[in-house]
Structure formats: structure tokens, C-alpha cells
Structure 1
Amino acid sequence: MPEHEVGTQEEFDAARAELLAQEKELTRRGDELARKRRDLPWVRVEKDYGFETARGTEPLAELFDGRSQLLVYHFMFGPPYEAGCPVCSSIADTLDPNAVHLKARDVTLICSSRAPVGKLLAYRERMGWSFDWVSAGTGEFHRDLGFVYTEEELRPFLEGEIPGTVRQLAEACGTDVPGYVTEAPGLSCYALADGAVYRTYVTTARGLEPAMAYYGLLDRTPMGRHEEGEDTHWLRRHDEYEKT
């Protein structure tokens, strides 16, 4: 634990009150951004996407499962992977128990990946999740949203110095670096109205942090995320941590 300034209770209370005012302002700003997300123009989904599910092949509209809103987490599990991305797996740990609460608000939550559905369902069983998981296969669903790249597009990155964390995660997935980084994570949202499907929101990168609950909690601990300078990524699948 690093050395840190130690003060009196009165000093803490004064500093905490100042910080609380800023936290409340950030919350109000978050409310404003949430409204702007809802105000985005909808885009009608014209392509006839098909997905392999545990029930067979289904179109996008069927994935709503009788509800009017759909959240899709684009889980990094590409065709050559032998296991899901550890980071995406940590996100799925947060998504899974929330699915039942989202259903109560007319929202269906699923994951979509490009690996064969048999691989996805076997991995889901290993991890103990229950959300619906579909395979987009070789279709264009992930690609159209910017969550799949070609090796040619990634050539500048692949010809440079590959970070150790990328090599670590690729190995953890049972694939090589090109096979790993051609996939990307993301979240996309849809509405179903009068039989038509509309895309309403898309995000990736740090836009996914609301589904990474551990970061919000770590941000409130004395050492925070404490990731600076680490050569390997600390995240593991939940059944791979050493017991302490």
C-alpha cells in the first residue's frame, strides 16, 4: 500500500463535502447524457440478419422474445477461439444477473458472437450464465457495427510491437494475435415497433464501463484500478482466480 496523506476527521469531512458536490454534478450530467442517448434518431434495420440460436435459425426481430426493446452485447468469441475473451467474460458476469430485471422493464438482453453456437452454449454452461447467446456466424451483423476487422485493416497494428496484454488475452482464448484482435466488443440497442426493427444506440471501448461494475467499485478504493505499468491484464475468468 503506498504512502498517503493522513488528516483529521474534520479535514476529511471538508474534502468529502467538496467532492460530493462534484459527484452530484457528474450525476446530473450523466442524466443529461442519458436523455440525449434516448433522443438519438432511430435507424431502421433493413438487412435480413440471421442468427443461430439454441432453438434454430432466427431473424433479429425474433430475438426480442416478445418485448419491444433489445440489448445486444457483442461478445468477443471469434470462430477460431476455443474460449471466450476473459474481459468480455467479466462483463458477462455483470450482465447475466441483470437480465431478469431488464425483462421487467420490457428489455431483452442477449449476447452475440461469431463462433458456432455449440461453442458458445458450452462455454455458457462452464461459466454458469443463463442469458440467451446467439451466433451471428459469418454474417455481417458485427461487421456492420464496426466490431469485426480484417487482417488487412489491422496490418499497421500487427506489424508493430504487440502489447503483452494482447498476446496474453489471445493465448487465453486459444487463438493467435490476428485471430484475437479481428474481433471487438460492443453494445448495440434496438426497438421493435409495428414489426420493424430500429437501431437506437451503439457503443464500445470505455462506453462499456457501465457493464464493468468492478471498475466503479475499484474507483472508490484507496488504490483505485491500479493498472498503470502492468505487463499483464489482471482480469481472469471467474473460475480462474486463485483462491485466497
Structure 2
Amino acid sequence: MKKQVVSREEWLEARTALLEHEKALTRHRDEVAAERLALPWVRVEKAYAFDGPDGKVTLSELFRGRSQLYIKHFMMAPGAQHQCVGCSLEVDHMTDLLPHLENHDVSYAVVARAPIEEIEIVRQRMGWRFLWVSSFGGDFNYDFNVSFRPQDVSAGLASYNFRPAPEWTATVQDLSGRSTFYKNEAGEIFHTYSSYGRGGEEILGIYGILDVMPKGRNETGPNHALTDWA
């Protein structure tokens, strides 16, 4: 890797110019955050239930006494032979953050379509301590657009990242994402936000480090993504 080497004064001039762009990005991020908070909500009418390590658990119970719930949609279909490295890298960020989130009225849960027995094998092997439940046999993954029935894809009824799901999702069948929910004092649950694809990069704090390193993300493998190195 060869870069231009300059004097401290020249470097400072270039760095100060970059700072203006960074500040503009920060201001724009604040604007987007405000727009995100202003999104309307959708009442969740369906009674979703999941298989947990200790038995059945409802969507309402995933809140665990708090008013806000963050769900990580983990890309793991029934019988999956390979663990999603991107999802794994993301949830690796979370274990030590959980007490801080919970103290701030946020519960965190991971949902995958694989049966709970398969999930528990992975969770225990990885040493993850967060709540991970299975939506196997239910509609949750399909309703929140992270799992895809081949017939729905071919009929144009499936979507991913708020667009018609591409044809290849009929083969992959499961992808990743995140969704957030709010529960009021009456027990009503509202879907407040979801994002997919590169929208999940905001959770990958490791990118905040890599983006300021001399080699940057250095994703130079065949996929040009974190799957080349994570």
C-alpha cells in the first residue's frame, strides 16, 4: 500500500477540509434520525408466538417488562449447514451492551426460522447470552420480509428491503434484518421500524474502527463484503 506522504502542515490542511464533510454527514445523520423517530407506527394485530429455550414465548413476552423491543432477524433457515457470518458478527457486538440497553428500557432478542434445537446448538457453541427464539412454523419471518416462500417470490408477492424480492431469494429463502417495536401500558404492540441489507451496518461498530484505519474496510475478496474476512 503506497500513499502520498506530506508535511504536517499539508496534512492538517487536508484533514481540516475532510472535517467539514464529516460535520455535514453528522448533521445529515441527525436529520435522518429525526425523520426515523417521526415515522408512523403500525399496530401488530397478529398473536405471534415463538419457541424459546424454555418453551413457548409470545411477542409480548419478548419485551420482558420493558416498553421497547429490538429484534435481530438472524439468517438461519431450518437445516442450515452454514452459519451466517454477517449476522454472527453483528450479534457478537451485543452481549456486553445488553445491560446498558435494558437499563434504557430496551429489550433485545434474536429471531431465526430454524427450529429451537438447531438454534441452541449454535448459541451455546458461540457462548451468546442473549435471548434467541425460533419462529419455525409461524408467519413472523414472512410477515416481516426476511423469509421467502418460492411461490410468493415467483408470483411477485414477496418483498425485501421494501422492494419486490429478487428471484434468487426463492433459493436463499432467508435473509437478515432488524425490526423495532413499542408496547404501551394497555399491552398494545406497534411495529415502529425495520431495515434490511446495508441498513444493518449501523449496528456493526467494528466498521467505525475499520473506516478510520489505513486500509479501511479492506474487503477485497470475491464478495467485496464482510463475508470475505469475518
Bucket of the pairwise TM-score, normalised by the shorter protein: 0.7 to 0.9
Residue 173 of structure 2 is aligned to residue 182 of structure 1: yes
Retained in 1: the 8 A contact 2:222–2:228?
no
Q: 1:218 aligns with which of 207, 210, 222?
A: 210
- The residue number in structure 2 matching 1:148 is 147
Q: Which amino acid aligns with 2:198?
A: R
Which deviations, in whole Å up to 9, do the C-alpha atoms of 1:51-109 show, x marking residues without a partner? 11122112111100000000000001111214531111111111222221110100001
Q: Which amino acid aligns with 1:191?
A: Y
- The residue number in structure 1 matching 2:158 is none
**In 2, Cα distance between the equivalents of 1:157 and 1:79?**
18
- The residue number in structure 1 matching 2:197 is 205
What are the ranges of 5 or more consecutive residues in structure 1 without an aligned counterpart?
159-176, 237-244
- The residue number in structure 1 matching 2:4 is 5
- The residue number in structure 2 matching 1:63 is 62
Retained in 1: the 8 A contact 2:219–2:229?
no
Count the aligned residue pairs: 214
- The residue number in structure 1 matching 2:228 is 234
Q: 1:157 aligns with which of 152, 168, 177?
A: 168
Which deviations, in whole Å up to 9, do the C-alpha atoms of 1:2-60 show, x marking residues without a partner? 21111110011111111112112211211111111111111000011111112211211
Q: Secondary structure at the match of 1:52?
A: strand
Which deviations, in whole Å up to 9, do the C-alpha atoms of 1:156-198 show, x marking residues without a partner? 438xxxxxxxxxxxxxxxxxx93xx211100000000111000
Identity %: 37
Q: Within 5 A, what are the aligned runs for 1:25-40?
A: 25-40=24-39
Instruction: Report the RMSD for the aligned CA atoms in angstroms.
Output: 1.8
**In 2, Cα distance between the equivalents of 1:4 and 1:125?**
45
Q: Within 5 A, what are the aligned runs for 1:77-92?
A: 77-92=76-91
Q: Taking structure 1 as the reference length, what is the TM-score of the superposition?
A: 0.82
Retained in 2: the 8 A contact 1:87–1:235?
no
What are the ranges of 5 or more consecutive residues in structure 2 without an aligned counterpart?
155-165
Retained in 2: the 8 A contact 1:69–1:106?
yes
Which aligned segments of 4 or more residues in structure 1 are displaced greater than 3 angstroms?
Answer: 154-158
Q: Taking structure 2 as the reference length, what is the TM-score of the superposition?
A: 0.87
